[in-house]
Amino acid sequence: MDGDVDDELLKKAFDCINLAAQSFHDAAIEVATRVNGCLLFNVRVDKDPDFQRIAAIATGRATCIVVLMNDGASLRWCIVDELYSTFLRPLQEWANLPLKDQAGSRFQAYSSLLAGALRNSRRWTPA
């Protein structure tokens, strides 16, 4: 696998997550901390048949995508490569805006495009 983090380290980080006791945002931050990564963004996905939220965690050269499924209780994750940067970059830029600018900015189209690309990738690991 490319990057500075391996599947086993991510699996261990996700094994410590309890969505009944913490929010998706807190869970994503905890995973990022455990793998010495950085949370790039955490966005909702409106009207998606599978995903409620998507977060991205930078782990050196690799990026881990974490999704909260629509049941609100299960996570899936995968490592993505540079091909996904066109989907990730606008969401990361949005996340770096001040809150007042985020509110006036449309990011939903980008989160929907990313959700579609992830759904087609079939690279998921249950957390």
Per-residue pLDDT tens digits for 5-63: 677 788 888 888 888 889 999 999 999 999 999 999 999 998 899 999 999 999 887 89
Q: Classify residue 2: in a domain, yes or no.
A: no
Q: Classify residue 85: in a domain, yes or no.
A: yes
Q: Classify residue 64: in a domain, yes or no.
A: yes
Q: Helices (DSSP H) in 16-98: which residue ranges? A: 24-34, 85-95
pLDDT more than 70, % of the chain: 94
Average pLDDT, the chain: 86
Q: Classify residue 21: in a domain, yes or no.
A: yes
Higher pLDDT, 69 or 16: 69
Q: Classify residue 95: in a domain, yes or no.
A: yes
Per-residue pLDDT tens digits for 72-114: 988 989 889 888 999 999 999 999 999 888 887 777 888 999 9
38-44 sheet: strands from edge to edge = 38-44, 51-59, 62-69, 75-80, 125-126
**pLDDT beyond 50 at 2:** no
Contact criterion met (CB below 8 Å) for 127 and 76: yes
CA proximity to 119, closest of 71, 81, 67, 74: 67
Q: What is the number of domains present in the chain? A: 1
Angle at 120 between CA 15 and CA 74, to 5 degrees: 25
Q: Classify residue 44: in a domain, yes or no.
A: yes
Domain hosting 33: range is 7-126
The DSSP element (H or E) to which 37 belongs, if any, is none
